[in-house]
Amino acid sequence: MKRYVALLLASLVISCGGGGDGGDSVAASPAGTGGPGGGGGPVTGVIPSGPGIRVEETDPSVSRTGTWTSASSSLAWSGGSAVQSTVAGSTISFTFTGSAVRWIGSRGRDMGQPIVRIDGGPPIPVNLYQLPYDEARTTVITVYDLTPGQHTLTIEVPAGANNRVVVDAFEIDPGLVISRLQDTDPRIMPTGRDSNPGGKYAPAYPDGTNAWTRSEGSSGQPWSGNGAANPPELPVTAHETQTAGATVTLPFRGTGITWVGYRGPDAGIATVQIDGGAPVTVDLYSPTALYQAEAFTVSGLADTNHTITITATGQRNPAATAARVVVDAFDVLTPGRRYEQNDRAITYTAVSTATQDQWHTNTARVWTGGMSRTNNATGSKATFSFTGTSVSWIGSEKSSAGGLANVYIDGVFVQQVNLRESYPVEGYQKTVFRIDGLTPGPHTLTIEVAATGPYVVIDAFDVHP
């Protein structure tokens, strides 16, 4: 049984596991009694419950019908394994006690639209397709607003081509949202001269030569976010070094972070510091190659601004063949509830009925929930209705999605946001606007396209406690 508490908010926890990724969020009106099995067979053992509990796909509370096989062993899954199926009608059911549930799986080019139900109720829309190659430990969907008590989430493999479904784990009553920041994110800060065209990675030696190089996806290495680009932009990939003293520093706000990297027979040793504290040594050696691996995780931080710094030591495990240190991405954990771009709390308006003026769906990057909405027509708006005192707009900053947007709270102009970042910097799942200290109660956050040209991206909205 691979059940564990994934999120410890009361104290600082440092490990080589954890993480996840942002996914779809919906509110559900449960139907049926939510009895054991949910149509997927009887459940034996204890029905799991409790905030932040992660339950692996091997747990007795997870039952299967049809044909399921092991997912790719080259990707680092939650708990070390995941299962997949392309056989139409095969199901997985997870029975739990709580009021919300999160399915952790994968998205990719050969995946489609599984049939997802709560307690045998109506299907909940889910789309696993994305243009980048397979993403490990993706939060596929989070279902909120269930009646407190026992429920069953059932996932069914659809018919047709491109129907692969991966089930990795589940989380009960998750209180955190997770944003995956890629290696080209503008928040990655230099510690010296920035001479690398693939990201703001810098060495700690005096001649200014950059120690970090791109790990190209064409070599067959399945890095997070790889496989999609807008020419002349290069695909998002990973950066690596074997140079002692080479560092990467990322500022972030949240209560936890996971460094997504690589473990393998040629991986070396690095140190990690949070907020400039004592270095923690991380040995990345593994007898087999694991991509998108959770190299380091910290949780239980105060919900404020922090930094994570990774330093290559140039050293390696005696069993390792090299001292390779790879930075692929980061998963940032923030308290709150995420509303994906297709949530019913968001309304979109366009300046005309012309096709080019509409809010278009984009699946070409590693967006939270797998999709985003984009528009570049001046005057088009996205309005999010919410109740709370703090809200964030999750968007993108890059050259082709670097538009101007006016931000309004309750119809009152707050500020203009410039999303422009010059190539090769590309920021995805980025908090481009946040406001705290609102009066408790209902509010609206409106994003208005302020200039025709590069696109404005609506990826999601987060409401914070």
Per-residue tens of pLDDT for the chain, all 465 residues: 444 333 333 333 455 543 344 456 666 544 333 333 333 445 556 899 999 999 999 999 999 999 999 999 999 999 999 999 999 999 999 999 999 999 999 999 999 899 999 999 999 999 999 988 899 999 999 999 999 999 999 999 999 999 999 999 999 999 999 999 998 888 775 443 333 444 456 554 444 556 888 886 545 689 998 887 777 666 788 999 999 999 999 999 999 999 999 999 999 999 999 999 999 999 999 999 999 999 999 999 999 999 999 999 999 999 999 999 999 999 999 999 999 999 999 999 999 988 888 999 999 889 999 999 999 999 999 999 999 999 999 999 988 888 999 999 999 999 999 998 876 678 899 999 999 999 999 999 999 999 988 999 999 999 999
Instruction: Output the CATH code of domain 3-174.
Output: 2.60.120.260
Token code pair at residue 312: 């290559």
pLDDT of residue 25: 66
The dihedral region occupied by 441, where left means phi > 0, alpha psi between -120 and 50, and beta the remainder, is: left
Under a CB-based contact definition with an 8 Å cutoff, are residues 133 and 109 in contact?
Answer: yes
Cα angle, residue 336 at apex, residues 334 and 337 outer, rounded to 5°: 125
Q: Is 44 exposed, middle or buried (0-12, 13-18, 19+ CB in 10 A)?
A: exposed
- Which class would CATH give 181-335? mainly beta
Cα 374 to Cα 116: distance, rounded to the nearest angstrom: 26
Cα 259 to Cα 326: distance, rounded to the nearest angstrom: 10
Question: What pairs with residue 310 in β-bridges?
Answer: 248, 272
* 181-335 and 337-464, same CATH topology: yes
Instruction: Output the CATH code of domain 337-464.
Output: 2.60.120.260
Under a CB-based contact definition with an 8 Å cutoff, are residues 401 and 374 in contact?
Answer: yes
pLDDT of residue 455: 94
Q: Is 430 exposed, middle or buried (0-12, 13-18, 19+ CB in 10 A)?
A: buried
Cα 31 to Cα 50: distance, rounded to the nearest angstrom: 22
Q: For the chain, which residues make up each domain, given as ranges?
A: 3-174, 181-335, 337-464
Cα 212 to Cα 218: distance, rounded to the nearest angstrom: 18
pLDDT of residue 219: 53
Cα 329 to Cα 308: distance, rounded to the nearest angstrom: 12
pLDDT of residue 34: 34
Query: Helices (H), strands (E): how many in the chain?
Result: 0, 36
Whole-model pTM?
0.89
